Amino acid sequence: DQQVKQNSPSLSVQEGRISILNCDYTNSMFDYFLWYKKYPAEGPTFLISISSIKDKNEDGRFTVFLNKSAKHLSLHIVPSQPGDSAVYFCAAKLRNSGNTPLVFGKGTRLSVIA
Amino acid sequence: DGGITQSPKYLFRKEGQNVTLSCEQNLNHDAMYWYRQDPGQGLRLIYYSQIVNDFQKGDIAEGYSVSREKKESFPLTVTSAQKNPTAFYLCASSHTGLAKNIQYFGAGTRLSVL
């Protein structure tokens, strides 16, 4: 039973346009959400996160939106650049769970076309 | 500089052979994790350790073993019981005691069967 779902395996976007990556979750006990970016044959790198007490967090070209009632979050990248082409993983953490592992989605492959 | 080092980058296993993947971190993190990535499967948790001399099974622990004798090191052994070991293996670490848990990843080890 997947608790964190990324329903789009892939996404293609023109350079300069907005990329929107979506993530849904089922467990209402998740209270912290993260996005990771992964290039082939490399480890994922942390990109941006959001706490459940917020509905938006912004860092440069990257913005994450959280809709708790819909159990949905999204990552917006604007403007998209060719170097953004990678696999993006959504991850979630249980409230007050100490250092138990993050729960990851299966990832969305973003291709930014020049 | 601080980080997580995985070695080797590429590893080949013969039938019936046990192989050990190394993971070392100098971030002074208490918790360490092992994940396996297969195409289209995202990151699946094998084992994790929240403290020295203690570890827990993840979702796909069968055919794997770990040890955590030192804070800095969390080696993963892929035993002959793991019938489909070909995958990309990722090690991660994180602090304990924080409500927000960002996991930092190594560069990965690609294991193939000869």
Q: Looking at the partner chain, which of A41, A45, A49 has a beta carbon nearest the beta carbon of B100?
A: A49
In chain B, which residue's Cα lies nearest the Cα of A107? B42
Question: Residue B39, Cβ neighbours under 10 Å: how many?
Answer: 7
Inspect the interface and report whether the beta carbons of A42 and B104 lie closer than 8 Å. Answer: no
Q: pLDDT band for position A81 (50/70/90)?
A: very high
| Cα separation, A28 vs A23, whole angstroms | 14
pLDDT score for B97 = 65
Q: A102: buried, middle or exposed (CB in 10 Å: 19+, 13-18, 0-12)?
A: buried
Weakest-pLDDT range from A25-39, A69-83, B58-72, B83-97:
B83-97
* Residue B51 near residue B30 (C-beta atoms within 8 A): yes
Pairwise CB contact (< 8 Å): A32 & B92: no
Bridge-based pairing state of the strands A108-113 and A10-14: parallel
Taking residue A113's Cβ as centre, other Cβ atoms within 10 Å add up to 11
Burial tier of B40 (Cβ tally within 10 Å: 0-12, 13-18, 19+): exposed
Question: For residue B79, what pLDDT band results from cuts at 50, 70 and 90?
Answer: very high
Q: Which residue of A has its CA nearest to B92?
A: A43
Residue B111 CA to residue B114 CA, distance in Å, equals 10
Which of B21, B27, B43 to mutate: most A Cβ within 10 Å?
A: B43
CA-to-CA separations, B77 to B27, B47, B67, B106, in angstroms, rounded: 23, 11, 9, 17
